[in-house]
Amino acid sequence: MEALQHSFSPPAGSVLWRRQFLVGVATAAYQVEGAVSADGRLPSIWDTFSATPGKVLHGDTGAQACDHYHRWAEDVDLLAALNVDAYRLSIAWPRVMDAAGRPNAAGIAFYRKLLQRLKDKGVRTSVTLYHWDLPQHLEDTGGWLNRDTIYHFADYADLMSRELAGLVDFWSTLNEPWCSAMLGYGTGHHAPGHADLGAANQAMHHLLLAHGLAIPILRRNDPASAKGIVINVGRGTTDGATPADQHAAELFELQHNDWVLDPLLRGRYPARLHTELWPQAAPNVRDGDMAIIAAPLDFIGINYYFRTNVRDDGEGGYVELPLAGVERTQMGWEVHPDGLCDLLVGFHRRYENLPPLYITENGMASDDKVVDGAVIDGQRIAFLNRHLAAVDEAVRLGVDVRGYYIWSLLDNFEWAFGYERRFGIVHVDYATQRRTLKRSAELVRDFLAKRRSMA
């Protein structure tokens, strides 16, 4: 473990040494851009939510964030200097369209300049259309509970894929629909702050429908790019000894993983979801909906962070019971690399039509500080080493994984946790906006430079 905290040197034969295996970094618009009212940008649900007292730690908002909207050129230079193959970013829907659905030229120009500079630097581009920042005016008419929102999303996907055709290597429709549905509509922990399981299930259905409608539009407008979706997955295990406890772990993964993957890859929701777990929460599904959702994909992005330990709750469901004595991050999440391998191999064996996979987010938060001009983030270095070893093992077992993106390039606005939790491999001093490479960034940079020299 000690050695893993001071080096980033994958063993010979590791998938990381393959030049075609993408190594990248990722961000999201609301978390880094700031400039929330600049150049015609409209309010999003996260502007509203973060401005509501008690919703975000310390009352933080994304109003300034990393000021990436103004500092994008230097940020591109910074990530290019890290020698990464690819950059994953998202487009802020409220920045590129007005309330009537008309294009906002200034917002579109921002993304065109950003993507062109990335191309000029030789960095491949991975663009997510929806990373949680729904325009507030759409939430005012029901948000993802209103079926009309899926058609607004299709119009948005059409506009952006026409405007940015040729500048995008990978289009992702949605980021983590589980979080949008469950945290935004089921528990209220995220914007827009609703707390109803029935609403979460209906929101999920509309999110997946929006995805399904967008895929053929992206294919038509930008045929040379790859099209997919990004999902967050969770490993559920139990330390309980009873069959009921094992059943509880299965139910955890059913609602966290199968709820999204089954409709995407099998054209149906898992039956147990609405018979065993949420019998009163089934969404309204119209004829033809599931065929739309199951549109063929070029890839699926996998976001993985931690394992969850559960036990039977005595009522046929599950209750989360955190394990004691395990390594955790600043978020309180257990560090469990084997869970990533287990999930990847499980998906590979379960879904015959599983497309190629990219690890589109993996990383950890720590309380990083600049000391004498340096940030020594040993736990993160070990975290990356161990999770990349887990990806290696999955590839050895037959899983088609083609890339890995570190979350995140920059410390940023971490949603309901504000600015306290730092996920970046680059430290951001929010008062001065000074960027400082952490030791993890330096090691990744040096490894990728060595890999290039050997190509």
Q: Would you please indicate which residues are annotated as catalytic (active-site) residues? A: 361
Look-up: residue for tokens 């609301």?
30
Q: How many residues does the chain have?
A: 455
Task: Read off the DSSP letter of residue 278.
Answer: -
Listed in sequence order, the residues at least 6 apart from 30 whose beta carbon sits closer than 8 Å to its beta carbon are 44, 46, 62, 65, 92, 131, 132, 133, 413
Listed in sequence order, the residues at least 6 apart from 283 whose beta carbon sits closer than 8 Å to its beta carbon are 201, 202, 204, 205
Torsion angles phi and psi, residue 302, rounded to 5: -115, 120
Q: What is the rounded (10 degree) CA torsion for 155, 158, 163, 168?
A: 130
Cα distance between residue 43 and residue 171, in whole Å: 24
Query: 401 pairs with which residues across the strands?
Result: 357
Gap between the terminal Cα atoms of the chain? 30
Look-up: residue for tokens 């069959």?
243
Cα distance between residue 170 and residue 237, in whole Å: 33
Alpha-carbon Rg for the chain, nearest whole angstrom, is 21
Cα distance between residue 439 and residue 41, in whole Å: 36
Pairing of strands 235-237, 307-312: parallel
Helix, strand, or coil (residue 290)? helix
Dihedral sign of CA atoms 391, 260, 329, 373 in order: positive
Phi-psi sector, 188: left (phi>0), alpha (psi -120 to 50), beta: left
Other C-beta atoms within 10 Å of 326: how many? 12
Dihedral sign of CA atoms 67, 71, 75, 78 in order: negative
